[in-house]
Amino acid sequence: MLHPQPEHNRDLVRQLERLARLAFAPSPDGERILASVLGQFVAALGPGPDRGSSRRGHLTRLVQQFLQYNLRARPTLDNLGRSLRLHPGYLRRVFRLETGLSPRSYLVQLRVMRARQLLGKGATIAEAVAAAGFSDQAHLTHAFRRTMGFAPRQFQHQLGYR
């Protein structure tokens, strides 16, 4: 649990600073470190409110996995709901309750992270657009800027690629 006195949270603060550095200098271990740090952070926050049944959690994980493995797909809530035999509105509410994001917002976040990963390895913006499932460069730039706070070209420039 986060302690009210900051000196008791030093390790967590160091880990979060490390995470912030990774945002600008991707590494092969970046995703593992990201998962570890975020897990520590969530654990430090302590138990949250009751998130509902394990069925809702399972449903959310199914949708997350589908979206992670189908970044380039154009899923709709109707299609997802139909395949899971659930009403699209219910699916959206459960997903938002469990993750804090709509399925669409979650997918955009996944796409931005994939584009960031590719750009960090030296891919061109056009390659990142295609591989991450964005329809064009403008959509990538808009989503990247909203998520990361700067444009993909600035990210490449900071890494010395362009």
Domains of the chain in start order, with CATH, are: 6-45 (no CATH), 52-162 (1.10.10.60)
Q: Is 55 exposed, middle or buried (0-12, 13-18, 19+ CB in 10 A)?
A: exposed
Q: How much of the chain, in percent, has pLDDT values that exceed 90?
A: 48
Residue 18 contacts residue 34 (beta carbons within 8 Å): no
Overall average pLDDT of the 8-19 stretch: 64
Task: Tokens 């589908």: give the residue.
Answer: 66
Helix (H) or strand (E) holding 141: helix 137-148
Mean pLDDT, the chain, whole residue set: 80
- Tens of pLDDT, residue by residue over 24-47, are 555 566 655 555 655 665 555 555
Band of pLDDT at residue 162, cut at 50, 70 and 90: low
Overall average pLDDT of the 121-150 stretch: 94
Predicted pLDDT of residue 84: 86
Overall average pLDDT of the 150-157 stretch: 91
How far apart (Å, rounded) are the C-alpha atoms in residues 150 and 162? 15
Residue 59 contacts residue 67 (beta carbons within 8 Å): no
How far apart (Å, rounded) are the C-alpha atoms in residues 29 and 136? 29
Asked whether residue 13 carries a pLDDT value surpassing 80, the answer given is no
Asked whether residue 1 carries a pLDDT value surpassing 50, the answer given is no
- Tens of pLDDT, residue by residue over 77-118, are 998 888 888 999 999 999 999 999 999 999 999 999 999 999
Band of pLDDT at residue 51, cut at 50, 70 and 90: very low
